[in-house]
Amino acid sequence: MDAPGPWGTGPFVLVEGVSTLDTERVAVGNDPTAATWLWRGDRTPVVRLVANPDYWDTKRGPHLAEVRFRNDLAPDQALDLVCTTEGEVDIVTEVDPADAERVEQSEFAQLVTVDAIRAVAGVINREAAGLPLADPRARQALNLAVDRDRLVREAMFGRAKPLAGLTPAAGILKLDRVLHPFSGPYPHDAERAAKLWRAAGGETPRPLRIAAMAKLERVARRVAEDVREALGLETEVTVYQGEEEREARRRLAAKDRPFAWDVFILEHQPQAAEAAALELHRAFVGATGEYRAGPVVPEFEERYAALVMETSPLKQAELSHRLDRFVHDEALALFLCAPEALYAVNKEVDFRPYRTTFELAETRVSERHWSRR
């Protein structure tokens, strides 16, 4: 929204400030009909919303008279304020797992978590020169080399779950779980990983180049160490910051080869809980996928098209399982973890997190909240 006014039908109305997203359209490969968008936010220091008295779902909310977004604070400043003061900041989103314990020990804040529908996975460059990553055995070797339990414990401070395929457990519908239970993540098996790597022709002096978004640096370095230990393969880690990350995403979406990495670790969050499997698989593997780094996979496209066309919930569950199993068995990504969404919240605020988006309609404050004293 680029100006205050009675826009939309949501629970709140913008009355002060600006919050907009500038978008850059990037065509996926050479297909002008397939595109992704890169975002850059533009926000005033303060954005103020007030309750919409005409909101249609009064049972849901809103329960707050006013909401202020403080965009003038750096993340560490905001976290310090919510943990050590009252009246400055009530909610901090996207808390780093490394800071979770600090929030839990705070006098003023509580840690609120949810199993978000997010996947942290490595895009595998199946066309990398000098490495056999076009061979599924080599990709399976990478997956077997990673100790996911240790990664979750050390890199994510226990605030994630190992990823079995591309679909996090939180994004698998209950019907899918009942009808088609998944066998689980790749086990950590260094011996088998080394055998598969050698069988795929992986005896090469070239290092494995791992790139990652800045927020996932700990994950990348943990993966790099596991690969070195299991495969005896040297690794190089590159961490993209700010515009570097945006440019790396643009080049990947546009298929602007050659890429400067062999594995690119990133996080993706679908916008709709009901279509998580569709969105994640399309993004990482599909012909129109912004993260696909290799040739189109016809067997995947056949399975994906069948799922897109299906309307029966029972059949959708079967086809979703079939798709996830194929991507898992072919190791078309490096499956790592499904992180929790972490929030630092004032103890007198009742905040109910969503698995996909940040919503405040149901949020309430107690009689002891600083604003009501």
What's the whole-model pTM score?
0.90
Per DSSP, the three-state class of 314 is helix
pLDDT tens-digit profile of 141-189? 999 999 999 999 999 999 999 998 898 876 555 555 555 556 689 999 9
Nearest-10 Cα torsion for 68, 70, 71, 75: -130
Buried b (16+ CB within 10 A) or exposed e, 214-230: ebbbbbbbbbbbbbeeb
H or E segment to which residue 139 belongs: helix 136-145
Q: Which domains does the chain have, with CATH numbers?
A: 12-116+341-372 (3.40.190.10), 119-339 (3.10.105.10)
Q: From CA 292, how far away is CA 145, in angstroms rounded?
A: 22
Which residue in 155, 204, 163 sits closest to 186, CA to CA?
A: 163
The dihedrals phi and psi of 270, each to the nearest 5 degrees, come to -65, 155
Confidence of residue 363 (pLDDT cuts 50, 70, 90): very high
**In this predicted structure, what is the pLDDT of residue 145?**
98
Name residues whose C-beta falls within 8 Å of residue 132's C-beta, 6 or more positions apart in sequence.
138, 200, 201, 202
pLDDT tens-digit profile of 181-224? 566 899 999 999 999 999 999 877 789 999 999 999 999 999 99
